[in-house]
C-alpha cells in the first residue's frame, strides 16, 4: 500500500452549494493582541510587518507562503511536488478518522500537507528550499512531509545548489505511526548523500521545532539559525520536568539559551533573515 499518492485537482461537482460561514461582525478580526507584550495591534499593520510585533519584536506565526514572499527574490519561486497527498495506511482513528482530519484541514488551510517545497533564489543565488506549514496539523511530519524534505535535499544534490529548510513542527505525526518515524532516517540519509557536492545546507528553526524533526535533519545543518525566542528541542520542558522531577533553568530550550550553550550558530530576527541568508550563500554557496 502506498504511503502517499499524487492527486489530481478536484473538479467541482454540481449540486447544492455548501453553506458558507456567517460573515464577521463589523470590526471583528481587525485587531490582534500580541502574545509578547499584550499590546493590541491593528492586524493590517502586523501583517505589513511580516507578523512581527512593532512594539516588542515578538514573532507571531507567519503563513508558509508569505515566508517565501519575504525571503525569496520576487518571481523566482517555483513550487514542486505540490501533488503529493498523504494516505491513511493504518486506518487511524482518534477523536476522528485520520482521512477525515486530512480533508477538513485541506479545506481550512488550502494545503495538502504540512510542507511546501520548490526552488528559487535569494540575493541572486539559486537554492532548493522548503518550509513547514505549522497551520497544517501543527506542522507534523508524516510520510509525505518526509518525502518532500528528502526531495528538497536530493534536488539540491542533483543541481549542485545550496539547500535551505525552515522547520516549525510538533514532530512526527502520530496518525502515521512507524511510517512517520521512518522519515527521520530517510531525510538524514539524503543529507549524507548531499555532503558529496560540498554545498551548504542551512537549517532555520522557527517556533516551535520539536520531536522527530529536531532529532533528525533540523540539527544537521552546516549553519543552524533560529528566530528569537523559538522553542527548540526533542521533548518539551514540561515533559522533561515531569520525567526528571527537577525544575529547569529559566528560558530552557529557547533559542537564546541554545545559542549561549553552543547548540545553534545564530539568532536572526525575521526582518533581517533574507539579508543574512544572502550573505551566507555568498560566502559558502
Q: How much is the pLDDT for 285?
A: 72
Tell whether the torsion through CA atoms of 16, 21, 26 and 30 is positive or negative. negative
149-173 average pLDDT score: 97
CA dist 274 and 62 (Å) reads 15
CA 93 to CA 21: how far, in whole Å?
27
Spatial distance between the Cα atoms of 209 and 139, rounded to a whole number of angstroms: 9
| Residue 5, pLDDT score | 60
Strands 115-122 and 84-86: unpaired
Give how far the C-alpha of residue 139 lies from the chain's centroid of Cα atoms, to the nearest Å: 6
Look up residue 228 and give its three cell numbers. 528569537
Grid cell of 106 as nine digits: 485541506
Average pLDDT over residues 90-112: 94
Give 14's pLDDT tier (boundaries 50, 70, 90): very low
**Would you say residue 13 has pLDDT above 50?**
no
- pLDDT at residue 15 in the model: 45
Q: What is the mean pLDDT of residues 72-93?
A: 96
Q: Which residues pair with 121 in a beta bridge?
A: 126
Q: Domain segments of the chain: what residues?
A: 30-60, 62-284
pLDDT grade, residue 9 (50/70/90)?
low
> Which bin fits 186, alpha (ψ -120 to 50), beta or left (φ > 0)?
alpha
Of 28 and 198, the structure prediction assigns the larger pLDDT to 198
The secondary structure of residue 210, as a DSSP letter, is E
Q: Classify strands 223-226 and 266-267 as parallel, antiparallel or unpaired.
A: parallel
Percentage with pLDDT > 90 across the chain: 87
Please give the Cα distance from 64 to 62 (Å, whole number).
6
Average pLDDT, the chain: 91
Angle value at C-alpha 158, between 156 and 160, nearest 5 degrees = 60
- Mean of the pLDDT values across residues 238-254? 93
For the domain spanning 62-284, the CATH number is 3.90.226.10
Amino acid at each position: 500500500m502506498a504511503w502517499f499518492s499524487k492527486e489530481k485537482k478536484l473538479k467541482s461537482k454540481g449540486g447544492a452549494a455548501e453553506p458558507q460561514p456567517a460573515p464577521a461582525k463589523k470590526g471583528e478580526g481587525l485587531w490582534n493582541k500580541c502574545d509578547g507584550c499584550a499590546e493590541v495591534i491593528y492586524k493590517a499593520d502586523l501583517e505589513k510587518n511580516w507578523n512581527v510585533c512593532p512594539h516588542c519584536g515578538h514573532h507571531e506565526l507567519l503563513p508558509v507562503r508569505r515566508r517565501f514572499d519575504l525571503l525569496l527574490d520576487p518571481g523566482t519561486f517555483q513550487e514542486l511536488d505540490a501533488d503529493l497527498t498523504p494516505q491513511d495506511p493504518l486506518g487511524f482513528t482518534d477523536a476522528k478518522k485520520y482521512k477525515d482530519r486530512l480533508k477538513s484541514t485541506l479545506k481550512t488551510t488550502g494545503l495538502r500537507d504540512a510542507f511546501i517545497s520548490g526552488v528559487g533564489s535569494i540575493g541572486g543565488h539559486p537554492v532548493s528550499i522548503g518550509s513547514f506549514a505549522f497551520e497544517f496539523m501543527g506542522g507534523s511530519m508524516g510520510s509525505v512531509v518526509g518525502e518532500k524534505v528528502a526531495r528538497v535535499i536530493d534536488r539540491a544534490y542533483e543541481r549542485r545548489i545550496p539547500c535551505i529548510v525552515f522547520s516549525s513542527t510538533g514532530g512526527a505525526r502520530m496518525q502515521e505511526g512507524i511510517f512517520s518515524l521512518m522519515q527521520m532516517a530517510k531525510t538524514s540519509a539524503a543529507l549524507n548523500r548531499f555532503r558529496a557536492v560540498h554545498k551548504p545546507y542551512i537549517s532555520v528553526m522557527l517556533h516551535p521545532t520539536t520531536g522527530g524533526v529536531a532529532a533528525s535533519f533540523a540539527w544537521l545543518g552546516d549553519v543552524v539559525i533560529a528566530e528569537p525566542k523559538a522553542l527548540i528541542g526533542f521533548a518539551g520542558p514540561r515533559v522533561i520536568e515531569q520525567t526528571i522531577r527537577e525544575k529547569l533553568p529559566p528560558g530552557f530550550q529557547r533559542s537564546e539559551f541554545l545559542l549561549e550553550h553552543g547548540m545553534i550558530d545564530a539568532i536572526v530576527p525575521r526582518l533581517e533573515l533574507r539579508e543574512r541568508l544572502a550573505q551566507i550563500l555568498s560566502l559558502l554557496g
